[in-house]
């Protein structure tokens, strides 16, 4: 099972016991889970994976849940990697892949983080969870809370597609809608928060990142332990990028992969691109983005809390950050649906829009093996998308 050792602050390196429910370090820094990687290296064998369940819990050694009975699973993870042959031909790319995260419970990659964070919350005897969300994280948290018999309190912008509200209410969560963005939802939550609510905000607790880490493990396993040259990921709070980057590091330390890393590319929307601005200006932190607006609601995060961790991963990987317009997102969404039979959410479509822009800037070579991510289903965005199809 788990080889979780302790928690450690990403800023001051202070260590904490794994047996307590924690949010941030006393210095305000993000806490990361640390594993006994040498022990994993001695016992883990790639061939043992053949017998394991086809969900993210197949990587239990790298996950924080210690008692198997606490795992709250609905079959999340081990989503398909699909070769985009038609789009590849059109764009002149020989090796173009898409990891389709819409296959997850509640239709988005947020299920990964929530399956792991809710399981660990159960293990730590937490009964109530709360979080602000752009939509998908609230849906996933409500879903796993229902399965684990926890009460969820979710806070979302009031202009979210009604699908998200519907889903959260169906799972029994208490839904609060805020006139504003996810940052305003966070402020409202902090005003209403009760002492027994455990805060599951992005990167303000250590275990959602652990669930997202399995994106990196799967990418390697499904591509026969040879990572792609380029990963293009729709980025809001940045946990997808942070999780994969942590996975690659741990996988190298246990000998599952070598030194090669993909160039990590964060795609944001032109109407909310704080990470792109900071990356291009070679800054370590972002400035809060004013008047954030985009149809890719999951990318509407004006000030990612773990900005410096995302920016560091992009830099270390010799990656990039790129902004795409809503028009480009809609064109890519239509193109992916018509060329490949995959109907991505606007966030997922932004990864194709980003690829096209990078190719125009000659930043991708035709021989590069490129992995795009469809982080969620278009069907979560019916209200938003109907005007493009009526
Ligand atoms: C479908 C989708 N894609 C991407 C993102 C951005 O994810 P992250 O905040 O981990 O960068 C979100 C966040 O809500 C999302 O819902
Ligand atoms: Zn610290």
Pocket of ligand 1 (CB under 6 A): 108, 110, 134-137, 202, 234-240, 298-299, 301, 345, 347, 375-376
36 CA distance to ligand 1 middle (Å): 29
Q: Which ligand is nearest to the CA of 102?
A: 1
Give exposure, 80-102, as e/b (b: 16+ Cβ within 10 Å). ebbebeebbeebebebbbbbbbb
CA 220/CA 248 separation, integer angstroms? 9
The per-residue pLDDT for 80 is: 98
Looking at residues 259-283, what average pLDDT do you find? 98
The answer to whether the pTM exceeds 0.85 is: yes
What is d(CA 53, CA 39) in angstroms, rounded to the nearest whole number?
22
Average of per-residue pLDDT across 19-28: 97
What DSSP line would sit under 69-113, residue for residue?
GG---SS-S---EEE-HHHHHHHT-SEEEEEEGGGSGGGBTHHHH
Q: Which pLDDT tens digit goes with each residue over 156-205?
A: 999 999 999 999 999 999 999 999 999 999 999 999 999 999 999 999 99
Task: Give the rounded percent of residues in the chain with a pLDDT score beyond 90.
Answer: 100
Domains observed in the chain: 79-390 (3.40.50.1100)
Determine the Cα–Cα distance for residues 185 and 171; give it in Å rounded to an integer. 20
Best mutation site among 183, 237, 313 for ligand 1 pocket (most ligand atoms within 8 Å of CB): 237
Counting residues of the chain whose pLDDT is more than 70, the rounded percentage is 100
At residue 295 the predicted structure's pLDDT band, cuts being 50, 70 and 90, is very high
Q: Which two tokens stand for residue 155?
A: 């806070």
At 217, the pLDDT band (50, 70, 90 cuts) reads very high
pLDDT given at position 229: 98
* pLDDT at position 23: 98
Model confidence band, residue 308 (pLDDT cutoffs 50, 70, 90):
very high
């Amino acid at each position: 099972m788990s080889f979780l050792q302790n928690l450690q602050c990403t800023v001051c390196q202070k260590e904490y016991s794994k047996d307590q429910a924690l949010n941030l370090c006393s210095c305000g820094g993000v806490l990361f889970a640390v594993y006994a990687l040498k022990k994993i290296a001695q016992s883990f064998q790639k061939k043992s994976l053949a017998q394991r369940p086809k969900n993210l819990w197949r990587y239990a050694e790298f996950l924080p849940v210690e008692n198997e009975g606490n795992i709250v699973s609905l079959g999340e993870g081990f989503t398909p990697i699909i070769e985009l042959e038609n789009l590849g031909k059109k764009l002149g790319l020989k090796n173009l892949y898409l990891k389709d995260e819409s296959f997850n419970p509640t239709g988005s990659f947020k299920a990964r983080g929530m399956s792991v964070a809710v399981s660990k919350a159960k293990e730590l005897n937490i009964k109530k969870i709360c979080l602000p969300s752009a939509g998908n994280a609230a849906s996933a948290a409500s879903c796993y809370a229902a399965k684990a018999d926890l009460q969820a309190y979710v806070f979302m912008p009031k202009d979210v597609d009604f699908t998200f509200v519907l889903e959260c209410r169906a799972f029994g969560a208490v839904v609060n809608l805020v006139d504003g963005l996810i940052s305003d939802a966070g402020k409202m939550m902090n005003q209403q928060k009760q002492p027994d609510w455990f805060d599951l905000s992005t990167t303000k607790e250590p275990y959602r990142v652990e669930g997202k880490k399995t994106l990196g493990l799967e990418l390697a396993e499904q591509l026969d332990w040879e990572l792609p040259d380029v990963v293009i990921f729709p980025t809001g709070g940045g946990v997808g990028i942070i999780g994969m980057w942590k996975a690659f590091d741990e996988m190298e330390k246990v000998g599952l992969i070598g030194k090669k890393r993909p160039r990590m590319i964060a795609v944001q929307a032109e109407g909310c691109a704080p990470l792109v601005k900071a990356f291009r200006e070679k800054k370590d932190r972002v400035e809060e983005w004013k008047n954030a607006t985009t149809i890719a609601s999951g990318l509407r995060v004006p000030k990612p809390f773990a900005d410096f961790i995302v920016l560091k991963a992009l830099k270390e990987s010799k990656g990039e950050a790129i902004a795409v317009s809503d028009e480009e997102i809609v064109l890519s969404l239509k193109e992916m649906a018509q060329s490949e039979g995959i109907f991505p959410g606007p966030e997922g479509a932004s990864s194709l829009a980003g690829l096209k822009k990078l190719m125009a800037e000659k930043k991708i070579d035709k021989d590069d093996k490129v992995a795009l991510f469809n982080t969620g289903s278009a069907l979560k965005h019916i209200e938003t998308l109907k005007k493009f199809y009526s």
